[in-house]
Amino acid sequence: MNYRHAYHAGNIGDVLKHAVLAACLTYLKRKDQPFRVIDTHAGIGAYPLALEEMQKTGEWQRGIGRVLAEARPDAVARILAPWLEAVAAANPAGPLEIYPGSPMLARMLMRPQDRLTLTELHPADHATLAGRFAGDWQVKVIHLDGWLALGSFVPPKEKRGLVLIDPAFEVTDEFERIADGLVKAWKRWTNGMYLVWYPLKDRKGIDRFHRTLEEAGVRDVLTLELSIGRSDPDSPMRGSGMTLVNAPYTLADDMRVALPWLRDVLGEGPDAAAVVRQIIPE
């Protein structure tokens, strides 16, 4: 396990992932009933900019750094507010000093009745994560393979909520593992909301993943993609996508407004693109 998210926190991939995660959590809060968030690949929870890893790559500067520096039109500001207000709340002094990863973001958006289950396999990252949430009875941090968590933690007793599947893509068959885990989880908990993040590197793998979902009978599948259109093969990832099952019905329309703005702010080449596509209907 070589991947450490601290090198990449706040980058263009996190922008898409965390804006969408925050929007989905905000939607869940429309009803009073409790929900559970299951984050299968949680990382360390939050990322101080002072971390050596963050300083080394500076990837956040081309992601959250640019987003915060731009004036947002009202329609975009409304859609990104759940995410950016949490980022602001994590930095009460004003300037960005700490970037909330998915666990901290979820925690900030939860209410007293909601619960968060986090699994992280890297021993050091798990220890950091466990330390961050020590004593927080709404959060369970488990040193466990996220794929096992996906198989055994659904459906949660709340019967409402979402699963974030955000693996490290260090192995070539990651899409097969995702498809397998997601289909099995969906069969056990068909009403759950599932959010899968992936880099835009292997188009054939992405298409195969989507075909597997379709063949398995999964319904209501939405994909979102945000690419900054860099063509330099040595530069970091040029973009990322998310595949959502049972996304809030408002999300596609909201992302048709927010993603083109993010594309314009983050784009670095003529191929920069924002895509919103319902690939399998309800």
- By the criterion CB under 6 A, which residues form the site for ligand SAM? 1, 3, 5, 17, 39, 41-43, 101-102, 119-122, 125, 145-147, 166-168
Closest distance of CB 45 from ligand SAM, Å: 7
Q: Which is nearer to ligand SAM, 168 or 257 (CB)?
A: 168
Set 14, 166, 202, 220: catalytic member: 166
Q: Which one, of 136, 73, 64, 58, lies nearest residue 101 by Cα?
A: 64
CA-based nearest residue to 82, from 34, 29, 26, 27? 26
- In this structure, are residues 31 and 158 in contact, taking their beta carbons and an 8 Å threshold? no
139/119 Cα distance (integer angstroms): 11
The CB-of-181 to ligand SAM minimum distance in angstroms stands at 10
Q: Annotated binding residue at 120?
A: yes
Residue number with the shortest CB distance to ligand SAM? 101
Q: Closer CB to ligand SAM, residue 9 or residue 228?
A: 9
Phi, psi for 116 (deg, rounded to 5): -130, 130
Q: Smaller CB distance to ligand SAM: residue 13 or 260? A: 13
Q: Whole-number minimum distance, CB 124 to ligand SAM, in Å?
A: 9
Active-site annotation holds for 14? no
Whether the Cβ atoms of residue 119 and residue 144 lie closer than 8 Å to each other: yes
Greatest Cα-to-Cα distance within the chain, rounded to the nearest angstrom: 50
Shortest reach from residue 2's CB to ligand SAM, in Å? 9
Q: Is 102 annotated as a binding residue?
A: yes
Which residues line the annotated binding site for S-adenosyl-L-methionine?
18, 41, 102, 120, 145-146, 166
Annotated binding site: 18, 41, 102, 120, 145-146, 166
Give the residue numbers marked as catalytic: 166
